[in-house]
Structure 1
Amino acid sequence: MEQMEFCLEDIGIDSGSNLSSKSLIWDDFKFIDLFAGIGGIRIAFESVGGKCVFSSEWDDRACETYFANFGEHPEGDITKINTDKIPDFNILLAGFPCQPFSIIGDRTGFNHETQGTLFFDIERILAAKMPLAFMLENVRNLTAHESGRTFKIIIAHLESLGYYVHYKVLNALDFGVPQKRERIIICGFKHDVPFCFPKPVPESEKLSLQDILEPNEDLDEKLWVNDSIRLNRMLRMKKFISTPYITHENVSGSVTPHHFSCALRAGASANYMLINNERRLSAREMLRLQGFPDDFKIVVPYSSIRKQTGNSVAIPVIKAVARQMLKALRHCEEIRDYD
């Protein structure tokens, strides 16, 4: 899904030009981290100078990982959080679940369209706090749900709040990690800022599968699959490529090797992806595929970290989006006058 975009460079503004002192708000901006998971979006926005002032996550195991790495326990169920309890902030961030929208055939009002969905809680918080910007992340298929009606409703509701909305599908493969993970990114601004989505990084900046793999001798022997699984995968491979590679079995039963991972999934079988048809990915390797630093603490069992990484985000993608958002916000005259 594409949009017409205009960037700072397109209108003759140097992205590195000197800024007025009033733009310094963006050197120490505040954000909230909704549907926080294990903090991938938080890491990305902290890397560009942001400070998290509020987080929300309902999954207890994810909260364990979040607390171990950030020293704070997120608030629980977002549907029960009163907006008065949320501190003031500049940017709302949310990698929200895509629950089916119940579209009433003869609805009585526009505001009823998102009731009963978790997007409604994002909308509720935006309406109450009206931050200067937001960024939402979701699966690519959100754009096709109910023949596109769900996505149109989301965009319409965000625009009805007065936001200028931009959206684009970005692939983690284009931003430095060896994982094919396409996600829709939705960015909104209270002002008509000169925003454009980031461009792919050069090939020289991209990690290979070899870069993220741990030495076999350092791994738990439980990661290795039995001979039956290994041989079954080998017999069904559609082609052969040099090692290392990752295979996964698609819905039709086909097995194809690639020098990158398919998208990590929260609900996938433990045997869903195999390195060289021999073993499962380690917890650290899954985190690396999402761009997490190696000092990120693993404090939950393997099955939990597999679910958590599958539910998380590719940090390099979000970091690239964050840089573009900050670049646009710093150069907007109306934002400079923000008091």
Structure 2
Amino acid sequence: MKQSNKQINLKLDEHLYNKLKEFAKDEGKSIQYVLTESLVAMMAKNQKPENRKGKFTFIDLFAGIGGMRIAFNRQGGVCVFSSEWDKYAQKTYFDNFDVLPQGDITKIDANEVPDHDILVAGFPCQPFSIAGVSKKNSLGRATGFQDKTQGTLFFDVCRILEAKRPKAFLLENVKNLKSHDHGNTWRVIQESLNQLDYEIFPQIIDGQGFVPQHRERIFIVGFDRKRYGNFYDFQFDLEDQKPKKKPVLRDILETEVDEKYTLSDKLWSYLQNYAAKHKAKGNGFGYGMPDFDGVTRTLSARYYKDGSEILINQGAGKNPRRLTPRECARLQGYPDDFKITVSDTRAYKQFGNSVVVPLVTAIAGKIIEKVEELDKKAEGGENSNGTHKL
């Protein structure tokens, strides 16, 4: 259910109004948005987290609508900082957590980020520029991870890791991160994290088993070598974390659905013709209509366009329909009390860009277990290879 908007009257003197108007124009935003953003930021700044005595602290970078936050909260963590540039995602985040994430991460001073135990980031995959070190040296420019990742948002993760040195981190990205740019992107990521002295453990994991959706993503877990050394292993081992009964499509469907989600005759005809054309060519392109006792294809941010990757069969004589935003939320493992306060189009984009919450919750649990194990050894004066510190 969407929240209704309330209207207030606000009187400003002419000088202040003109300043506000000028500021909004420079920011490329409406006056209403600037005022709302300012009020939310002021309230969020003065609001204290409900539980400061959590098992650990974490920060939520490229936070989206908070899927990673929910996961780490469930494992006893307290989020002490969040960042997300998209204003619609910021709204959803605030409406659910009463915290307004800071904006553009490239403008955030790493030293002003609070100390934390774990860094969490679903960073975007952007092209990485890999120029020869010798050439950079001749130009008097920086080398190492800062040079190789300059201009990408992954660099912002690196500079926060360097400045704050959390015990561990979890990074999430698309499955093909390793093959992006012929493997160069992955090589730079590995080199960068290695130069920062973090031991990394990557794994591609499918979300099905936690939710009724085939969704493969790469998860990169890292631990601080300066603190723990590197004579240890980390295993995801998530099978025992999955529900005993495998989730299927019918589990997430609503009982009553508005007719507006049913495809029009024109769109349904187009999708059928499109699928038939590509099938004739031997291609696998086309719409997806999963079995009610099966799993869906991967929900994408483009779902709002036609819903073609996941259509729901409504029986003979009726066109199929899209998933509702609430069903998309369930497909990603969000609880039903998660508030959806944006338009359907925005909601589809947000859930399509999000993570499988129960899967990340399980990974978070494994990370915490390993951190506690390594902390115990460190406190006992023992390195991770079993030898005692001098």
TM-score per shorter chain, which class? 0.7 to 0.9
Shift in Å, 1:266: 1.2
Distance (whole Å) between structure 2 residues aligned to residue 335 and residue 286 of structure 1 = 43
Shift in Å, 1:94: 0.2
Q: Which of 130, 154, 157 is the equivalent residue of 1:119?
A: 154
Q: Is the 8 A contact 1:224 1:280 kept in 2?
A: yes
Distance (whole Å) between structure 2 residues aligned to residue 188 and residue 331 of structure 1 = 15
Unaligned runs of 5+ in 1: 1-24, 239-249
Q: Is the 8 A contact 1:330 1:336 kept in 2?
A: no
Cα-to-partner distance string for 1:91-138 (whole Å, 9 max, x where unaligned): 000000001111224444223100000000000000000010000000
User: Does residue 247 of structure 2 align to residue 207 of structure 1?
Assistant: yes
Cα-to-partner distance string for 1:213-232 (whole Å, 9 max, x where unaligned): 001xx222211112343355
Give the letter aligned to residue 122 of structure 2: G
User: Does residue 106 of structure 2 align to residue 79 of structure 1?
Assistant: yes
Q: Is the 8 A contact 1:329 1:335 kept in 2?
A: no
Q: Which of 263, 266, 272 is the equivalent residue of 1:225?
A: 263
Give the letter aligned to residue 323 of structure 1: G
- Partner residue of 2:49? none
Q: Is the 8 A contact 2:80 2:114 kept in 1?
A: yes
Shift in Å, 1:299: 0.5
Shift in Å, 1:156: 1.3
Distance (whole Å) between structure 1 residues aligned to residue 379 and residue 172 of structure 2 = 27
Shift in Å, 1:27: 5.6
TM-score, normalised to structure 2's length? 0.72
Distance (whole Å) between structure 2 residues aligned to residue 229 and residue 265 of structure 1 = 19
SS at match of 1:146: helix
Does the C-alpha gap of structure 1 residues 53 and 144 become closer, same or farther in structure 2, counting only changes over 3 Å? Answer: same
Distance (whole Å) between structure 2 residues aligned to residue 254 and residue 292 of structure 1 = 28
Structure 1 segments, 4+ long, off by >6 Å, are 235-238
Cα-to-partner distance string for 1:130-175 (whole Å, 9 max, x where unaligned): 010000000011110111111111011111111111000000013x
Question: Which is greater in Rg?
Answer: 2
Per residue, is there more strand in 1 or in 2? 1
User: Does residue 315 of structure 2 align to residue 275 of structure 1?
Assistant: no
Q: Is the 8 A contact 1:44 1:318 kept in 2?
A: yes
- Partner residue of 1:70? 97
SS at match of 2:208: helix
Percent identity, aligned pairs only, is: 45
Distance (whole Å) between structure 2 residues aligned to residue 73 and residue 278 of structure 1 = 38
TM-score, normalised to structure 1's length? 0.82
Shift in Å, 1:206: 2.3
User: Does residue 371 of structure 2 align to residue 329 of structure 1?
Assistant: yes
Cα-to-partner distance string for 1:244-288 (whole Å, 9 max, x where unaligned): xxxxxx986334543322111113423323112610110100000
Shift in Å, 1:195: 1.9
Root-mean-square deviation (CA), in Å?
A: 2.4
Cα-to-partner distance string for 1:278-325 (whole Å, 9 max, x where unaligned): 101101000001100000001100000101001110111111111111
Moved more, 70-79 or 255-264: 255-264
Unaligned runs of 5+ in 2: 1-51, 138-142, 277-281, 314-318, 382-390
Distance (whole Å) between structure 2 residues aligned to residue 296 and residue 27 of structure 1 = 22
How many residue pairs match? The answer is 300
Q: Is the 8 A contact 1:198 1:320 kept in 2?
A: no
Distance (whole Å) between structure 2 residues aligned to residue 32 and residue 42 of structure 1 = 8
Does the C-alpha gap of structure 1 residues 274 and 134 become closer, same or farther in structure 2, counting only changes over 3 Å? Answer: same
Moved more, 192-201 or 323-332: 192-201
